[in-house]
């Protein structure tokens, strides 16, 4: 199967090049914005609730590195479930919130098993403002009682939306008003570009932000579920091809040529849920990026998600994957130094925009060494944590292009 994939790569790359003609990750974010309504956000350390519910992510060791791995979907009912008839109408929830006439009103009510047991909870979204540009969300338990118990509230999501994911988490999308995409744009041109995920945590007795393990082609579960819908409808078929996903990663995040050779080292077939792909740069002093991928929801019919990315002899040991970071963040790991300089460490935000950088200095002047750096960063989104990445880049002495890299998925506070 791998041989067949290689034979077809030449033809597939011609499709890939056209898909990447924009030259940036905007193609993915645009796809998400062109779909259903926007969604909302929040953040915290990736923590799974205890109890019978399956957690959304875990970690495993592959080739000496800690790699975030997505587990299968929870057992039992998952995603949105029918609400009891007595509480299914938005009008039922207006006095419970309570909303204010001509100011706010309940938009929709969605039910699901959000606490990891067999009881139903209600996710209630409220439209706010004369132009309906704001959204608040509420989660209630004991939904058929005269006084439902409010478990969670998130307010002020610009052009926001929220839904229950296949993992029985709350996923949201909204506008980051200060992002490169939206800053100084008229309200009618604002587009959703910030996506977050929340899961019930028993010991905290509330919903906390958690991390989706993806690095590429998306950073969040909202975007991944939307992308899966697009692929299932026949759009962007490259996301179902491990080698093409690897080439797209290299072209977008490393600015390598779109036709940089990609080889499937293991897995990656039609019936596989994991893959390892190596992509080799075509620039002078060419290096390789080693990519670990999972299928979304561990379903062999779903899209590939890059969950780990590192060039040979490069690692970031701290921070660990899916940590919650604050500025400045201390980064350490292993790489090769030239005259004491290893490369550049960067912090990327929810739109893959660089929001912080620092030079990484080696413990020794030449060759393999440890490195450390302290990187201050400044997020455009001020309303909570957001998905992001920490990356180390090394550059070619021949032409200055990125010759190697390592990426770690994080939460930025």
pLDDT attached to residue 82: 97
What confidence tier does 5 reach under pLDDT thresholds 50, 70, 90? very low
Distances (CA, A) of 182 to 6, 53, 158, 310: 40, 37, 11, 32
pLDDT attached to residue 71: 54
Give the length of the chain.
413
Query: Average pLDDT of 369-384?
Result: 94
What confidence tier does 364 reach under pLDDT thresholds 50, 70, 90? confident
Return the higher-pLDDT residue of 45 and 337.
337
pLDDT attached to residue 68: 58
Specify the DSSP element, H or E, that contains 28: helix 26-33
What confidence tier does 42 reach under pLDDT thresholds 50, 70, 90? very low
Closest CA to 97 of 126, 56, 59, 65: 126
Query: Average pLDDT of 28-37?
Result: 37
| pLDDT reading at 34 higher than 90 | no
| pLDDT reading at 351 higher than 50 | yes
Q: What is the pLDDT of residues 110-144, one digit of tens each?
A: 999 999 899 999 999 999 987 778 999 999 999 99
What confidence tier does 299 reach under pLDDT thresholds 50, 70, 90? very high
pLDDT attached to residue 72: 53
Q: What is the pLDDT of residues 184-205, one digit of tens each?
A: 999 999 999 999 999 999 999 9
pLDDT attached to residue 185: 94
Residue 81 DSSP class: B
Q: What is the pLDDT of residues 103-115, one digit of tens each?
A: 999 999 999 999 9
Q: What is the pLDDT of residues 201-243, one digit of tens each?
A: 999 999 999 999 999 999 999 999 999 999 999 999 999 999 9
Q: From CA 41, how far away is CA 43, in angstroms rounded? A: 7
386: which 2 tokens? 């957001």
Q: Is the peptide bond before 98 cis (omega within 30 degrees of 0)?
A: yes
| pLDDT reading at 49 higher than 80 | no
359: which 2 tokens? 């030079």
pLDDT attached to residue 408: 98
CA atoms within 13 A on the CB side of 229: 11
Instruction: State how far Cα 335 lies from the chain centre.
Output: 26
pLDDT attached to residue 284: 81
| pLDDT reading at 46 higher than 70 | no
Mean pLDDT of the chain: 85
Query: Average pLDDT of 63-86?
Result: 71
| pLDDT reading at 257 higher than 50 | yes
Whole-prediction pTM value? Answer: 0.81
pLDDT attached to residue 10: 39
Q: From CA 97, how far away is CA 117, in angstroms rounded? A: 24
| pLDDT reading at 33 higher than 90 | no
Query: Average pLDDT of 23-48?
Result: 34
Other beta carbons within 10 Å of 84: 11
∠ CA 193-198-204, nearest 5°, is 145
């Amino acid at each position: 199967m791998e041989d067949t994939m290689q034979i077809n790569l030449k033809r597939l790359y011609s499709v890939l090049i056209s898909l990447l003609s924009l030259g940036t990750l905007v193609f993915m974010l645009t796809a998400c914005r062109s779909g259903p309504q926007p969604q909302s956000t929040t953040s915290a350390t990736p923590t799974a609730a205890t109890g019978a519910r399956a957690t959304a992510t875990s970690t495993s060791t592959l080739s000496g590195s800690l790699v975030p791995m997505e587990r299968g979907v929870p057992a039992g009912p998952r995603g949105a479930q029918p609400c009891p008839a007595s509480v299914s109408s938005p009008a039922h929830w207006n006095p419970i919130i309570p909303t204010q006439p001509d100011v706010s009103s309940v938009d929709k009510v969605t039910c699901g098993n959000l606490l990891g047991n067999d009881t139903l909870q209600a996710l209630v979204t409220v439209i706010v403002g004369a132009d309906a540009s704001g959204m608040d969300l509420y989660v209630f338990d004991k939904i058929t009682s005269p006084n439902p118990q409010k478990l969670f509230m998130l307010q002020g999501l610009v052009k926001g939306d929220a839904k229950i994911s296949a993992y029985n988490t709350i996923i949201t999308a909204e506008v980051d008003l200060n992002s490169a995409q939206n800053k100084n744009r008229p309200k009618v041109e604002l587009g959703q570009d910030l996506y977050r995920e929340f899961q019930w945590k028993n010991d905290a007795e509330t919903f906390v932000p958690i991390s989706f393990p993806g690095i590429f082609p998306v950073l969040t579960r909202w975007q991944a579920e939307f992308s899966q819908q697009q692929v299932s409808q026949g759009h962007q078929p490259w996301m179902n091809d491990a080698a093409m996903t690897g080439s797209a990663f290299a072209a977008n995040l490393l600015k390598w040529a779109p036709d940089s050779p990609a080889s499937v080292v293991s897995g990656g077939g039609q019936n596989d849920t994991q893959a390892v792909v190596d992509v080799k740069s075509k620039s002078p002093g060419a290096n390789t990026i080693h990519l670990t991928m999972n299928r979304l929801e561990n379903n062999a019919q779903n899209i590939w998600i890059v969950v780990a990315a590192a060039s040979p002899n490069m690692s970031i040991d701290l921070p660990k994957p899916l940590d919650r970071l604050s500025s400045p963040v201390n980064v350490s790991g292993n790489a090769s130094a030239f005259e004491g300089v290893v490369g550049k460490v960067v912090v990327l935000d929810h739109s893959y925009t660089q929001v912080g950088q620092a030079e990484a200095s080696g413990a020794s002047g030449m060759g393999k060494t440890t490195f450390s750096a302290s990187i201050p960063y400044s997020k455009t989104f001020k309303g909570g944590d957001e998905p992001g990445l920490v990356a180390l880049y090394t550059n070619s002495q021949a032409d200055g292009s990125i010759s190697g890299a390592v990426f770690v998925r994080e939460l930025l506070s």
